Amino acid sequence: MKKILVIALAASVALLALLFGVRQYAYSILYKPSRDMVAPVEPGVSAQRVRTSDGQSLIAWYAAPQAGQPVFLFFDGNGGSPEGSSGRWLQIMARGAGFLAVYYRGYSGSTGAPSEAGLINDARAGYQWLIDHGYRAEDIVIHGYSLGSAVAVQLAAEKPARALILEAPMTGIDDIARQYGPGLFPNIMRDTFKSREFIGRVHAPVLIVHGEEDRVIPFAMGEAMFAAANEPKSFIAMAGTDHATLVRDGVYTHVFDFLAAHPAE
């Protein structure tokens, strides 16, 4: 009997170690932070410090909008860094708009380590920073790309905004894991970013843009998110565009056309 108990205990420990290893592997795939803090070089862009309610200090790149133009509250993908998005910033500023790009805990000089709950708290902190600096809800466009789309959806489900812009959105990390990962993978993931459960709570106008050649987040997930969104909403399918070329291929033409059709109240 004692030998059986020892064997059972050893097997349980081995199983826990295996599950922990798989979970850590999943974590390493989900979050790919660039930890270096880089100063902006684009004219009119500054690096700000944004404080979260749980004591983290985040890096955020900021450019003020021209009078009457919106400010984008932007959330990047799982491997994003502010210095890697200069084309995005230039296209936003060329239209006179501004942006606050919040870099999650553990990313680009921000303190802490990423988690789903942490990233949502970071999003709330970015929104509050804008409110504290004199912006109204109707000035703010919540804007997320890839993993950042899931952060943006959850924030927009809580906070009013002029619009919600989703580039290459997912229905959930668990759905992606079921498609690409082993059968056990979705069942042990702690951070699942189930955007499909939040999009119906968003009451701002919603624009979803997805590349038809996306090989990272299936195009069908963008369609599913659009189907679940409330009106007013619009869906743009970008032919020949993959996950990483939305900005290059003209996403901001669609974004500003959508905002023109849905002016601030």
Enter the DSSP assignment of 110: -
What is the reported pLDDT for 182? 55
Q: pLDDT at residue 190 above 90?
A: no
The CATH architecture that domain 31-261 belongs to is 3-Layer(aba) Sandwich (3.40)
What are the backbone angles phi and psi of residue 264, rounded to the nearest 5°? -65, 140
Closest CA to 251 of 236, 264, 240, 261: 236
Determine the pLDDT at residue 3.
Answer: 52
Which of 78-92, 99-113, 180-194, 237-251 is least confident? 180-194
| pLDDT above 50 for 184 | no
Looking at the whole model, is its pTM more than 0.95?
A: no
Instruction: Give the residue extent of every domain in the chain.
Output: 31-261
Residue 189 has pLDDT above 80, yes or no: no
Model pLDDT for residues 204-243, shown as the tens digit of each residue: 999 999 999 999 999 999 999 999 999 999 999 999 999 9
C-alpha to C-alpha distance for 67 and 39, rounded to whole angstroms:
26
User: What 3-state class would DSSP assign to 197?
Assistant: helix
Percent of the chain with pLDDT over 90: 80
User: What secondary structure letter does DSSP report for 33?
Assistant: -
The tens digit of pLDDT for each residue in 30-48 reads 899 988 889 998 999 999 9
Q: What is the pLDDT of residue 18?
A: 29
